Amino acid sequence: MHVSEATKHIDRILDSTLDSVDAAESDILHLAERMGFDEDARYELGMAIREALVNAVVHGNQYSTHKKVHVLVWEESSGLKVVVRDEGKGFEVSTVPDPLAEENLLKESGRGILLMQAFVDELMVRRRPQQGTEVTLVKYSAMPGV
């Protein structure tokens, strides 16, 4: 993954594998550490990033060797912004069953978006116009401008 020291900007095309998820998560968390995010904040950011990347690889691209995951990371004045795009069919977040509903508590999956919401400050999930899903996460810095 390319990480520019000057802009602290990451732009990478990933294969649809769990190894790619691990590598991207690690690189983004190293960037977050250099930006001054403490251990708790990095844990929370890591949880959210991992859920976004796993969703893209597993549910979006369905491990297809022909489909990629695009990861973009910027440092903003408010904190760290991460965009994850897949090349799957795409979905509307409104169609995802509420994992906190009584009838869904014992389901084995469907909690990814809930965890992302819990661990970052801003989350946007949208179906891309041509194909796939785009997830945007923002984790605020403890100190503005850091």
> CA gyration radius for the chain?
15
Alpha helices per DSSP H over 2-143: 18-34, 39-54, 112-119
Q: What is the nearest approach in angstroms of other proteins to the Cβ of residue 111?
A: 4
Among residues 34, 107, 126, 128, which is the contact residue for other proteins, using CB under 8 A? 107
Contact characters 110-139, other proteins, x per CB under 8 A: -xx-xx--x---------------------
By the rule CB under 8 A, 64 interacts with other proteins: no
Supply 106's token pair.
Answer: 């014992």
Among residues 5, 108, 130, 144, which is the contact residue for other proteins, using CB under 8 A? 108
The DSSP annotation for 87-105 comes to -S----GGGS--TTSGGGT
Tell me how far CA of residue 65 lies from CA of 54, 99, 125, in angstroms: 15, 30, 24
Residue 19 phi/psi, 5-degree rounding, is -60, -40
By the rule CB under 8 A, 18 interacts with other proteins: yes
* Part in contact with other proteins (CB under 8 A); list of ranges 64-72, 79-87, 100-108, 120-128: 100-108
Q: Are 31 and 10 in contact (CB under 8 A)?
A: yes
* Part in contact with other proteins (CB under 8 A); list of ranges 28-36, 60-68, 84-92, 108-116: 108-116
Site residues (CB under 8 A) for other proteins?
Answer: 18, 43, 47, 50-51, 54, 58, 99-100, 105-109, 111-112, 114-115, 118
